Amino acid sequence: MQISSSIAAAQPDEGAQPSLQAYFKPDISPDDIEQVHRLRGAQPLLQGFTALFYGGADGILIRLLVLHELASDPNASTLTRADINAKLGYLEAESLETVLYRLRSHQLLNWDAGQGVYRVTPLARNILSAIDSLITLAQDDDDAEMGFLLSQVAGSQAVGGVTVEQLQHLLGRMVDLTEEFRDAIASGSEFRLRAAQEKWHTACDWVEKGSQILHAITNDPDADAATHRAAQAIGRAQSALLNMQGMFSRALNQIERQRVHLGQSGLSTTDIKTWLMNHEDLAGLASNAVAMPVTPMFITPSEMIDVAEAELFADKNTALPAALPAGENASIVSNEIPAMPVELDAWLNRLSAFAASAAKTASDGGSAGSKVQDTLLPASFAVASYRASLLPLLGDESEASLQGGTATMARLPLEFAPQDGMVTLKDPHVAAMSNATLAPISDNKPETQHD
């Protein structure tokens, strides 16, 4: 009995909540932590979230539903119990009373006993606004978390209250995306690369929307040094994201050169994998494919040694044939020249002619630069897209050190300069194109030394 009593006394009280100091080391005081002081100052807001999100998922959904219905009418500042019953008549009376009591006890609803009416508190409206913004962005198929972070920065900048923490959250998400895209490029998987490229396009849309906001922050004389440093770091992260277009193009071009085709059928391993990925039940493809199931045969090591010995002596005793078999004519297979190398050769000839003409114009003192659309067009949309995807290779030192058509293109004395914006074209195949110029490399730029 004494042992049982001592064991029972040593058990911790499951209902007791540990103090804040219990989470820290004995020689550390929570008051010395800056973030603890900041979170303590936001206790009313945190308690409001606790009131809504404590418990099971169904209870959380009902609390949010009730609070959203009560705050949905902006013209009604007060609500009687009859109004609440009319709005939420589809709920059980006891369940509704339980939810209203919880909202009242955590200052999300105010009860005016003198007038007998309810009022939705400003704290509740702020919480609902933040939740609705996140839910709205999450319903899209794009990178919702980056859009939410950027909307928080934009809203704070509009009212003059952007904080370093908000900028650091946005910077952290951009760094995560950059690492994710680099991992996709390093993987060498075409499917992962294309999925990452689609996500990259969405991220670039958010970068374009946030550029004006960051420009306003960096030019704000009232912003402190920490805010300026965070905004500048975000600008560098944006540049790193935008510069990944060339990395995606080179990786996809490398995969295209290494693509394996199945004979002369026109099918590639990518086509087969895409077809297999569209089937939810891969095992079902083998239905009725095998007439008789495979029957496993189990033998002991002794039988295995006997069979191996017999096979070994059978190979040794087999005599070589006295004469070689008669020769046969090799089958002749016509192999068509792929379309892309032909297009690459034509594109190299066109760029080489342009480089020579531009160099002559520059030596005569004229303007040697040209809009990129004048060089890419006329062409079909597929050919123009293929040509445009190769332009980032111009001046690429790593590609120029290799051999092949793309390496020859990288060594051309041309400079590709993309700019912001799109240019509308009057072309039957291409409606618009990125604003960019193509010009010969200036003489004052150092040339790459080749052995």
Strands (E), 327-413: 370-371
Which residues are CB-neighbours of 419 under 8 A, at least 6 positions away? 434, 435, 436, 437
What residues does CATH 1.10.10.10 cover in the chain? 39-129
Closest CA to 48 of 122, 110, 115, 124: 124
Distances (CA, A) of 106 to 34, 66, 123, 131, 441: 26, 15, 10, 18, 68
**Predicted local distance difference test score (pLDDT) of residue 14:** 43
Under a CB-based contact definition with an 8 Å cutoff, are residues 241 and 174 in contact? yes
Q: Is residue 397 within a helix (H) or strand (E), and if so which, with residue range? A: helix 397-400
Neighbours of 322 (CB within 10 A): 5
For the 39-129 domain, the top CATH level (class) is: mainly alpha
**Predicted local distance difference test score (pLDDT) of residue 140:** 57
Which residues are CB-neighbours of 195 under 8 A, at least 6 positions away? 184
The alpha carbon of 404 is separated from its chain's Cα centroid by a whole number of angstroms, namely 33
**Predicted local distance difference test score (pLDDT) of residue 291:** 66
Under a CB-based contact definition with an 8 Å cutoff, are residues 391 and 416 in contact? yes
Closest CA to 143 of 205, 185, 186: 205
Under a CB-based contact definition with an 8 Å cutoff, are residues 268 and 261 in contact? yes
Q: Is residue 331 within a helix (H) or strand (E), and if so which, with residue range? A: none
Under a CB-based contact definition with an 8 Å cutoff, are residues 109 and 124 in contact? yes
Is residue 339 helix, strand or coil?
helix
Which amino acid is located at 22 in the chain? A
Residue linked to tokens 């070994």:
312
**Predicted local distance difference test score (pLDDT) of residue 322:** 60
Is residue 225 helix, strand or coil?
helix
Which residues are CB-neighbours of 238 under 8 A, at least 6 positions away? 174, 207, 210, 211, 214
Cis link prior to 378 (omega < 30° from 0)? yes
Q: What are the per-10-residue average pLDDT scores of the chain (451 residues)?
A: 35 57 84 81 82 86 87 79 85 88 87 85 83 70 60 67 75 83 83 82 75 74 77 81 81 75 69 77 73 70 79 68 72 58 82 82 71 84 85 82 82 84 86 85 49 39
For residues 443 and 347, give the distance between their C-alpha atoms in angstroms, rounded to a whole number: 24
For residues 117 and 98, give the distance between their C-alpha atoms in angstroms, rounded to a whole number: 17
Distances (CA, A) of 85 to 66, 73, 94, 116, 231: 11, 15, 12, 14, 50
Q: Give the angle 235-195-268 at the CA atoms, nearest 5°.
A: 140
For residues 383 and 346, give the distance between their C-alpha atoms in angstroms, rounded to a whole number: 11
Q: What is the CA radius of gyration of the chain?
A: 35
Is residue 417 helix, strand or coil?
strand
